[in-house]
Structure 1
Amino acid sequence: MSFEFDFTEQKLAKILTRNKNVHEWYEAMVVQLPQFEVTTAKRVAAFVAQCAHESADFTTLQENLNYSADALNKLFGKYFAAAGRDAAPYHRKPEMIANVIYANRMGNGDTASGEGYKFRGRGPIQLTGKANYHAFATDFFEDPETVMNDPDLVTDDVPTSLYSALWFWNKNKLNKYADASDIKGMTKVINGGYIGLEDRIKHYNHAIEILEA
């Protein structure tokens, strides 16, 4: 399967203006996007726009968990309450934060397991949780333990990082939202809410204008 429009590195560079490594991402996209039928201008624009929002133009590939105690109470209060913990001692302590807010869900063990931090959000679309890492790794690698033992591959290796986002995209059937230009709907699936919706729409409008030119 090939692209249904003229997808060039120059166009991608105009979209990802903060990325100094566009060539490597473009080379990976040319190979991988068609594998998931992300071949129309709408689908590519939607995928790139959502990833650009989540990762600052594919440059920040690891979740920022450096929250203040006040932010923790506002954003993750229910997880601290469920764990019977006060947020104050977790102020600006990313590893401890992840091990509380991601404990006992998404395939992770309890707080003491350390799996919340080990399998924190990585990649352009923030793959999160042991179960998701294992499912993705099973699809991408002959030996899933390659990623399970070294999840930083999702941050450090461009093809692995891109595939993690496309795996998530495909798993959640986001092409259908792209076909309908339903940025709000796909944002709900990706984010669980509508955080950053205005910026995501802005990214999409910018991307589709360039890709359709």
Structure 2
Amino acid sequence: MTAEKAQRAADLFGITDRKSVAAWLANMAVEAGIQPKRENLFYTTPQRLRAVWPSRFDPRHGGRHDPNAYLRNPERLANLVYAGRLGNGDTASGDGWAFRGWGHLQITGRANTLAVERAVDLPLTAQPDLLEQMGVGLLGGAYYWARMSQANRLAAAGEIWGTRRAVNGPAMLHADEMVALYQKALPHL
């Protein structure tokens, strides 16, 4: 991630408070690392699928799908878990795979991708390779952080754990790691 591109994206969408900048950077680091990427959804154990997607695979949470049928098949898994959500069509539409997480904050879904497309004036749905470019990933992450979620407001108020929920949802995966990165970054801003 280049500092100049990150600064430009942050400035464009009003991520200026030092707590917000630190939390934004920390969340991006645990979501995608330094390079923007696409979510791969390559799972190798039924236990992990049940833990991450309980409503789809864990009968105790209403899951009715056999996790073994989705192991090592990221496209099939994406089309199931993201079907009918976030502006996506049904499993047969292919939207789950086409609009799986992307960029530094793993923006997911047709509706969210279209919102970012309009905000940054780039043809993201027509040219999906753009989603993996550094500048585009940072712009998408900044827009999502500041305009599509409550993360920027939460960070400015010092609710750093809340920023993880705003980005990652109720699972809050890697929350401890994100907070540790936030604490390292904050003194340098």
Please, what TM-score do these two structures have when normalized by structure 1?
0.79
* Contact 1:98 1:116 (8 Å CA) reproduced: yes
Residues 73/32 of structure 1: CA separation in 2 closer, same or farther (3 Å cut)? closer
Could you tell me how far apart the structure 2 residues matched to 1:79 and 1:28 are?
38
**Pairs aligned (count):** 183
Q: Unaligned stretches of 5+ in structure 2?
A: none
1:135 equivalent in alignment to 2:115: yes
SS at match of 1:189: helix
More contact order relative to length (CA 8 Å, sep ≥ 6)? 2
Could you tell me how far apart the structure 2 residues matched to 1:83 and 1:110 are?
17
Per the TM alignment, residue 69 of structure 1 is displaced from its structure 2 partner at its CA by 4.3
Per the TM alignment, residue 152 of structure 1 is displaced from its structure 2 partner at its CA by 2.8
* Contact 2:151 2:162 (8 Å CA) reproduced: no
1:187 equivalent in alignment to 2:167: no
1:109 equivalent in alignment to 2:85: no
Q: Which has the larger radius of gyration?
A: 1
1:205 equivalent in alignment to 2:183: yes
1:35 equivalent in alignment to 2:12: yes
Aligned position for 1:13: none
1:151 equivalent in alignment to 2:128: yes
Q: Unaligned stretches of 5+ in structure 1?
A: 1-21
Aligned position for 1:15: none
Per the TM alignment, residue 103 of structure 1 is displaced from its structure 2 partner at its CA by 0.5
SS at match of 1:92: coil
SS at match of 2:96: helix
Q: CA RMSD in A?
A: 1.9
Structure 1's consecutive aligned runs of 4 or more residues displaced over 6 angstroms after TM superposition are: none
